[in-house]
Amino acid sequence: MKVILLTDVKGVGRKGDKKEVADGYAGNFLVPRGLAAPATSGVVRGVEEAKAVERKKSVRARSRARSVARTLRKEPLIFEEKVSPAGTLYSAVTGEKIVAAVRPLAGDIDIKVELDRPIKEPGEHRVRITLNNDTTVDARCTVRSSEE
């Protein structure tokens, strides 16, 4: 039986693939669990339209990620933190804080920050940020003392 996979199925294929599977496997497992649908012309057309929409979203997200990366290369991320008399930060700059600082620029694209350890001292630091799983930028993070 020909089916269209509605989700990734291990050992069978990825979402949107058109596959020939055993009738029993399709009728007793894939279709009842919502993992696949019979490959009728309507379902095939719907899946192709969904793929086209997904491709357009991917192109827009990739373009947005490149734009954000250009901005991050030019301008540092600036953090104002309290500094102890010993010269270390009371509250470290973590990956979560960096993601929160990049989020207004990036919107809904995926952001991942690579830090060996949280930043605990003021100054200029390099941080690797991956946007949309395919655009990587080495951003500058400037940590300054906040006077209070």
Residues 83-104, buried b or exposed e (16+ Cβ, 10 A)? beeeeebeeebebebbeebbee
* 98 phi/psi in degrees, rounded to 5: -70, -45
pLDDT at 94: 93
pLDDT at 148: 56
Over the chain (148 residues), the average pLDDT of each successive run of 10 is 91 90 92 91 86 88 91 93 90 93 90 92 93 90 83
